[in-house]
A and B are shown apart, each in its own frame.
Chain A
Amino acid sequence: MKILVCISNVPDTTSKINFTDGDTKFDTNGVQFVINPNDEFGLTRAMWFKEKQGATVHIATVGEASVEPTMRKALAIGADEAIRINTAPTDGFFVAEQLANVIKDGAYDLVIAGRESIDYNGGMVPGILATLLGMNFVNTCISLEIEGSTATAIREIDGGKETVQTSLPLVIGGQKGLVQESDLKIPNMRGIMMARKKTLTVVEPVDAIIATKDAKFDKPVAKGSVKLVNSADELVDLLHNEAKVI
């Protein structure tokens, strides 16, 4: 089985968010970038398929050279090879088309992406790329088993979960649950050394649709300070008469 894990390079979850250039760009100054958490769960599941079922695991990222440290981290966790598509990932549709092109050429059986990137929260790349390629697609995937060419997945639904069955080739939008929190791997020294020698292929982008453009950003207005109350009585009163939410 040949697996591709799509890795999105995102600001660390603790990052403060600021904008520059007249609020038209995300300010990367002082921001630490990491593997998108949803992709890290997927990558870790891919490692399981590698260890238990002999799968080959590649990763791909659409991004400029600055994303390579994040890609090396994914290689240090255990991916075999990396592909970087050399362009800024400005729009979900555009990113999906770039990935679809690489997937088509690489004949992957399973593509693991994340439910969403925690930066722009587009949640569209896996669905678009599955559709462009005519591959089966399961989103918000919290469990995945593969037997031959049959895949059994559990997906989160509002208020519960659903078990689905389908066949390879398959794309999933993964998230927490795909592996246990404790299964996440921090790369060790050996992994980091080996990652340096692994193949990282740079490919140029193809022409593709750009469907959306973030013209401007802003931040939520700062909150007034909290109103501390002493009793449940007072709280009920405020929720009813002031906030009008009950």
Chain B
Amino acid sequence: MSVLVYTESENGKFKKSAFEVASYAKAVADQLGASVTAISFNADDSEQLGTYGVSKVLNVTDDKLGTFNALAYANSIEQAAKKENAQVIIVSSSTNSKFLAPILAAKLKAGYVPNVVAAPESTSPFSVKRTAFSNKGFAHTEITTETKIIGVSNNAFGVKENQTTAIVEAFNADLNDADFSVKSIEIDKVAGQVTIADAEIVVSGGRGLKGPENWRMVEELAEVLGAATACSKPVSDMGWRPHGEHVGQTGKPVAANLYIAIGISGAIQHLAGVSSSKTKVVINSDPEAPFFKAADYGIVGDAFEVVPKLIEKLKEFKAQNA
């Protein structure tokens, strides 16, 4: 019996979320008295997963799987799960994981619970805590099927070291043409940029920034912090920023360690998507802006004065703490 974890990589390198889901898988395995097997696709240096408690890695190396393909990946994971007699499968909350998990659930007749924020509360019944109602609440959800799939919310569990030796095994699933019936034509992505999904820090701008030409300072603040940039819905609706940056109830969820909102009023739909971030900072010229009620720290002031000063101070801080 094992816990299987899908560890994501990009250009051969594991994503940070891979270490978080591996850490989570180890916690589940300890509860069940099982061991952790990881499955990775075209990843280099799979042994390093041992640091997070993975004792075996099924390493898929296949050029056809160089680009993510939900069905082909799900099929491979399904076959790995059967081979390993996996009772629980752990995935991340990335867009790709959320794409393949329901496919996998249907194939394995497994219950899938996304947005899980903590290790299982009990294993019998098998119960996990997850966010619901766009972060306005939590549900304690029981999974009643034999095989269970858990989607771990980003930055919720954290990366935990648990040194073991990982045995790496080559693994290739049986795939056929039908598994590639959705074909990737083009990927449009800025290389090397921190994404909202992976970021520990997110810097976000709203309508208070007046126009797209003023985003330079948001980007600069993000650069100093190694953060991803985001925006409120009207900002992307007006085309000031790309749609992919829109966060909130109808946009991307943000579960960062630090969320900085600049010139964002804090409408309920916006807050719903960002409130599971741990520390929230608001910079707004209106002391009555609703966001202040949901924030940990606030500066009442004009963003065009505050942000440049903040960038300067952070640069000094980074220089001192480098």
Question: Which residues of A come within 8 Å of B, CB atoms?
Answer: 11, 13-14, 17, 19, 26, 37-38, 91-93, 96, 118-132, 136-140, 142, 152, 155-167, 175-177, 181, 209-220, 223-233, 235-236, 238-240, 243, 245-246
Best-buried of A142, A164, A165, A181 by chain B (most CB within 10 Å): A164
* Segment at the interface with A among B81-89, B187-195, B210-218: B187-195
Query: With A158-B96, A163-B185 given, is the CB distance from A14 to B114 under 8 Å?
Result: no
Residues on A with beta carbons closer than 8 Å to the beta carbon of B310: 232, 235-236
State whether B136 touches A219 (Cβ < 8 A): yes
Residues on A with beta carbons closer than 8 Å to the beta carbon of B183: 164-166
Decide if B13 is an interface residue (CB 8 Å cutoff): no
State whether A121 touches B115 (Cβ < 8 A): yes
Chain B min CB distance to A125 (Å): 8
Chain B min CB distance to A98 (Å): 14
Decide if B294 is an interface residue (CB 8 Å cutoff): yes
State whether B102 touches A176 (Cβ < 8 A): no
Contact of B296 among A37, A91, A123, A243 (CB under 8 A): A243
State whether A239 touches B297 (Cβ < 8 A): yes
Chain B min CB distance to A196 (Å): 29
Chain B min CB distance to A178 (Å): 11
Chain A min CB distance to B249 (Å): 6
* Per-position 1/0 for B169-199, Cβ under 8 A of A: 0000000000001111111111001011110
Residues on A with beta carbons closer than 8 Å to the beta carbon of B135: 220
Query: With A13-B272, A118-B250, A164-B185 given, is the CB distance from A123 to B98 under 8 Å?
Result: yes
A61 to B107, CA, bound (A): 23
* Known interface pairs A160-B187, A211-B112; 16 further A-B residue pairs with C-beta atoms within 8 A, sorted by A's residue number: A93-B111, A118-B134, A124-B105, A127-B101, A128-B106, A129-B106, A131-B103, A156-B243, A161-B187, A177-B243, A211-B143, A212-B141, A212-B143, A227-B298, A232-B306, A243-B258
Chain A min CB distance to B168 (Å): 26
Best-buried of B99, B188, B251, B300 by chain A (most CB within 10 Å): B99
State whether A176 touches B246 (Cβ < 8 A): yes
State whether B187 touches A216 (Cβ < 8 A): no
* Segment at the interface with A among B27-35, B47-55, B312-320: B312-320
Residues on B with beta carbons closer than 8 Å to the beta carbon of A126: 102
Query: With A128-B106, A211-B112 given, is the CB distance from A235 to B187 under 8 Å?
Result: no
A229 to B284, CA, bound (A): 12
A176 to B144, CA, bound (A): 33
State whether B138 touches A220 (Cβ < 8 A): yes
State whether A123 touches B114 (Cβ < 8 A): yes
State whether A124 touches B198 (Cβ < 8 A): no
Residues on B with beta carbons closer than 8 Å to the beta carbon of A118: 133-134, 249-250
Residues on B with beta carbons closer than 8 Å to the beta carbon of A236: 310, 313-314, 317
Contact of B269 among A14, A128, A152, A164 (CB under 8 A): A14
Query: With A14-B268, A139-B99, A163-B186 given, is the CB distance from A127 to B105 under 8 Å?
Result: yes
* Segment at the interface with A among B36-44, B57-65, B275-283: B275-283
Query: What is the chain B residue whose CB lies nearest that of A19?
Result: B137
State whether B110 touches A211 (Cβ < 8 A): yes
Residues on B with beta carbons closer than 8 Å to the beta carbon of A163: 184-188
State whether A127 touches B298 (Cβ < 8 A): no
State whether A239 touches B195 (Cβ < 8 A): no
Contact of A93 among B105, B131, B249, B295 (CB under 8 A): B105
